[in-house]
Structure formats: C-alpha cells, structure tokens
Amino acid sequence: MNARDIRLAKSRLRYPVLGDLEEAARRRLPYYVYDYLQGGTGEELSRRRNIEALRGIEIVPRYGVDISSASMSASLFGQTFNAPMAIGPIGMDGAIWPNASSHLAEAAREAGIGYMMSSMSAGSIENAAAIAGENFWFQLYTFAGNDHAVSFDLIRRARDADARMLTVTLDIPGAGRRVRDMRNGLSVPLRVSPKMALGTLLRPAWLAGLARNGLPRFANFAPYCREGASKAEIDAFVSKGRPGGGATWEMVARFRDAWPGAMTVKGILHPADAEKAVSLGLDGVIVSNHGGRQFDPSPATIDVLPAIRAAVGKKSTILFDSGIMSGLDMVKALACGADGVMVGRAFMLGLAALGADGARHVCATLMEEFRIALVQTGACTVSGAKGLAVRHRGAWVDDDFKAGGAGQKNYE
C-alpha cells in the first residue's frame, strides 16, 4: 500500500459514515465557511425535510438470491459508470476548500463516476474537463443579459471541452434568503469583518490552502471581464448578471438547439415541469430542491420523485439530488424511481475534513455502502434496486399537486 492508501484506510476506520465528517469539517473550516456549506434557506426546514424523508423510507429485502453476479454498474446518458452516482455541482467550491474542483474531478475520474461542475465553481470548465475526461458534465447558470450571450458562450466552452451532459438549473429565479450567511455578513463581494478575520486565523489548514492557491474567484466568468481583471471585478460582473434568474422554458428550448449532446434541467419538483422538459426533447431531469437552499416550504425531494417518474415514464433519465449521505440513501432513491443520484454536500464535507483525500474517501464510502445494500436487499444490480418493495409514507400523490389542494389536475 502506498501512503495515500494507508491514509484512506485510516479514514475509513475513523469516519465510517459520512455524517462523522461534519464535526471534523467544522473544526477545520472558518465558521462562516462551514455555515455556507451546511446552511439552507429560511428556517432550514426543507434541508432537514430532505434528510428525515430519506430516513423514513422502508425497503423489504428479498432472500435466497444468487448474489455472485452483483454489480453496481450503471448506464446514464449513454455512458457506463461504476456506480449510478455523480458528484453534484457546488457553487464557489474553492471557498469551501482550496482547489476543490480539481480534487473532485480527479476523484470522479478515478472512481468511474460523473462529475458535474457548476458555472459558479472556483475552477474553470477547461481545467476540470481536462482532469475528469469523459466523466465531465456541466451545470449552466444562465445570464440573461445581451440575449444570453454569456449563457451561450458557456455552452460553447462546455461543448469544446467535450462535456458529456449539460444541465440547465431552473430553481434559482431569485437569490435564496440564507439566514446563516446573512448573520455572518457573507456577501458578494466579500467584506471581511474583524470577527471573520479572527475566525480565519483560527483555521490554519484552510488558510494555508488559500495561501497556496490564492483567493477563490468565479473562474468561469473571467473571460467576460477585461484581461487581468481582479477578483472584485469578476465578483461585480457576476453580481450584476443575476446568474440563474433568466432561465425560462423558452430559453431551455434555445439551449437545446445549441447543445448536441445529452441535456437535462435541474431543480424539478413538479410532474408538469418534468413533462415539459421531456416535450422539449431533453434526455431527462434532475429532481432537486437545491439541497434546501432556495425555497424553504419545498417538499423533500424524495417525496415527489415517484410522481415525477410516473409522469415521464421509463424512457427519460431521472437523477435524484438533495440529501444523499449514504449508499442506503442511493438504494432508496433508485427504489423510488431514480436512475442515479447526485451528491454534493457530502463531497465538500470530505474535502473540508480530510483535504485532497476527502473526495476519494466519500467515493469509497458511498460505493461500499451501496454495494452492501444491493446484496443485503437481494437487488444485486441497479435494475434490481428499481424493483424493490418500498413503503414510502411521505410520497406525494396526484391530489397533492392540484392547485390549492383542489380542482383539476394541473399537470395533465
């Protein structure tokens, strides 16, 4: 075993479940960065709802099954992965842990899973794609100005970088009201208070990483500012551009025409929106409530998943996002209608707790738990997991989607 393998083996013993990483991450991150990572919007009800709903799902295992051919392999958007999982997009990931996008892209390539980079990452499309290779996906935050000139150029760059899937994020029509960030004075551009400065000095590992890699910036938008633009200038450009606020179905249709490959939309919670996406020729949808970071009354993502699967049928690919913290959660998502899952927050907790090895630790933990769960349930494969018997008390039904709770179904 090399030194890295030894470190990872020790991490598996010290942090056997991903929830164990939370306290380690809190000790290594400045308080305002930890709150940015872990926080939701409003009272954080939707954030907690995601977790509680997943925990409440029951699955009946089947026994007497030949497990010798058990396999985690999955096909998503014409690609074969070692597990039905992708690292989800994280905005300003480099502020949570320096050089995060490179670490995530490398971990995804090594593990044989997808990596979806956020437009709002601190890394660039070109660099992440070079590392992740054919596992690279891209998440577009639209910029409505100048008839979406920046949006279309980001699409061009993702195409030139050979991204295998593009998703357009819909669930950010306006900025979420993230109370933790407000209390901490976190904003764009960042204005460092004395309290924040002290909090930073108390976290030497994070500060050392910052010193090595420089202040994080929205790297994907540097080309749209003057050559040599400062971080403050790029921040100002992003703030003025209102990222995400200009996404409409009309624009999604135009993006579909500009993108030759697999394409989805992210942030779907209503069956009617999923059907609309399919009608525009998209290859699937990502069912997500933005990890509880946008709209606090939103339902737990898992609770609307079955209705969305019923609405779009079996031909469209559905990825599940928001709340995945274990391989068991992955099986639950598949059993409730997903074809694969996206995991974001857990990977950032891994980087914060363990540095560059953290993303590998999270990959290894999720894949080991997922493999064991496939065997324990008798599902053995991704296809088998989709056929498991599930008791899902919180699942939304047709009547729940009626306007005002009564009247005609508004997603027929």
Token duo for residue 154: 């980001």
Sign of the torsion angle spanned by Cα atoms 226, 229, 234, 236: negative
Q: Are 265 and 19 in contact (CB under 8 A)?
A: no
The full set of domain ranges for the chain reads 3-400
pLDDT at residue number 409: 44
Mean pLDDT value across residues 321-328: 97
pLDDT score of 405 more than 80: no
Active site residues: 290
pLDDT at residue number 75: 97
Token duo for residue 407: 């009247």
pLDDT at residue number 318: 98
pLDDT at residue number 4: 86
Mean pLDDT value across residues 341-365: 96
pLDDT category at 2 given cuts 50, 70, 90 is confident
pLDDT category at 359 given cuts 50, 70, 90 is very high
Q: Are 309 and 343 in contact (CB under 8 A)?
A: no
Check residues 402 and 121 and name the one with the higher pLDDT.
Answer: 121
pLDDT score of 203 more than 90: yes
pLDDT at residue number 404: 67
The alpha carbons of the chain give a radius of gyration, in whole angstroms, of 21
How far are the Cα atoms of 111, 141, 227 from residue 266, in angstroms, in the given order? 24, 10, 32
Q: Which residue type occupies 349?
A: L
* Omega prior to 189 cis, within 30 of 0: yes
Model confidence over 216-260: pLDDT tens digits?
Answer: 999 999 999 999 999 999 999 998 888 888 799 999 999 999 999
CATH H-level superfamily of 3-400: Aldolase class I (3.20.20.70)
Mean pLDDT value across residues 73-83: 98
Q: Are 327 and 370 in contact (CB under 8 A)?
A: yes
Q: Are 46 and 300 in contact (CB under 8 A)?
A: yes
Distance CA 32, CA 185 (A): 8
* Overall pTM surpassing 0.85 (yes/no): yes
Measured at the alpha carbon of residue 309, what is the angle toward residues 409 and 330, in degrees to the nearest 5? 140
Phi, psi angles (nearest 5°) of residue 384: -65, -35
pLDDT at residue number 408: 40
Phi, psi angles (nearest 5°) of residue 206: -65, -40
Token duo for residue 38: 């872990």
pLDDT at residue number 8: 86
Model confidence over 37-66: pLDDT tens digits?
Answer: 999 999 999 999 999 999 999 999 999 999
Q: What is the mean pLDDT of the chain?
A: 94
pLDDT score of 89 more than 90: yes
Residues ≥6 apart with Cβ < 8 Å to 401: 270, 271, 272, 307, 409, 410, 411
pLDDT category at 32 given cuts 50, 70, 90 is very high
Distance CA 355, CA 406 (A): 51
Model confidence over 251-294: pLDDT tens digits?
Answer: 999 999 999 999 999 999 999 999 999 999 999 999 999 999 99
Residues ≥6 apart with Cβ < 8 Å to 369: 326, 327, 328, 330
